[in-house]
Structure 1
Amino acid sequence: MPYTKIENIDLIEIPKITDPRGNLSVVEEGFLPYAVKRVYYLYDVPSGAYRGGHAHKEQQEFLIPLSGSFEVILDDGENKKSVTLNKPNKGLLIPTGIWRELENFSSGAVCLVLSSGRFLESDYIREYDEFKLFKST
């Protein structure tokens, strides 16, 4: 497995069409390096709660803050990086093998996730010690 480093992960600009009636952003086939197999969203996250706390063995995910803001803590097993998502025309592509935690959700925050795979529990690494072992192989 290629060793993904967090310094290679950054926000990606989503095309935006500006109009006096409101803006429109589009993610369509070919924008992401994978076909979208699952779409889900996080919302009504209570103050002080966090989501994530896992890595994926195979799946990639693209996170878009549709409303409000939240922080994504990325960890490649050696280094950590925090990215604030707060603009609906900027998303975060999280490749395989990166531990992520989402926290500091503002009131009304909505996080849309475009995933490269269907839900498969065996693809999740939910224990940090197991993640460190996975990264060392």
Structure 2
Amino acid sequence: MYRLILSSAFLLFFGSQVLAAELTPDNIIGNYKVSARAGFMKVYLNFNVVSAQEFEIQRVYTSGRKDEVCKGKFDLNSHVFWDFDSLGAGKLFKGVFICPSKPDKPVDFNIDFKDKTTEDLAKGTNVTVTSSLAPGRNIQAHVKKH
């Protein structure tokens, strides 16, 4: 019985450490639901990180209609940020995507994850997005891994 309890505690401790890992290009692979408010408009996206360098993005409307799937490439870089309370290190997702209907119009964007972990993405978390679609604006978005 003692071994079972000890084994369970060991698995829980180390399992939770893996779940709360620092973000890397490999451990962010997966499907995400994103919602953001851009001015008076609420935008919903399916965001799929398919490899350590590539992703797909698709706008979804509340009616269930979906736009085309656009494909892109990304880098996940470390950066330093100021959080009013302290100086910290975080992750910045820098992506560029192209939609099939507009192959000559690449869209670039950044997602500032700050110090978020894989556990934060699994629970759902708020991030800051900047994009060439809305120059000079910081867009608050909610990201949740599915």
Higher strand share: 2
Q: Please tell me whether Structure 1 or Structure 2 has the larger radius of gyration of its CA atoms.
A: 2
Per the shorter chain, which TM-score range? under 0.3
More helix by share: 2
Instruction: Give the TM-score of the pair, scaled to structure 1.
Output: 0.26
State the TM-score, normalizing by the size of structure 2.
0.25
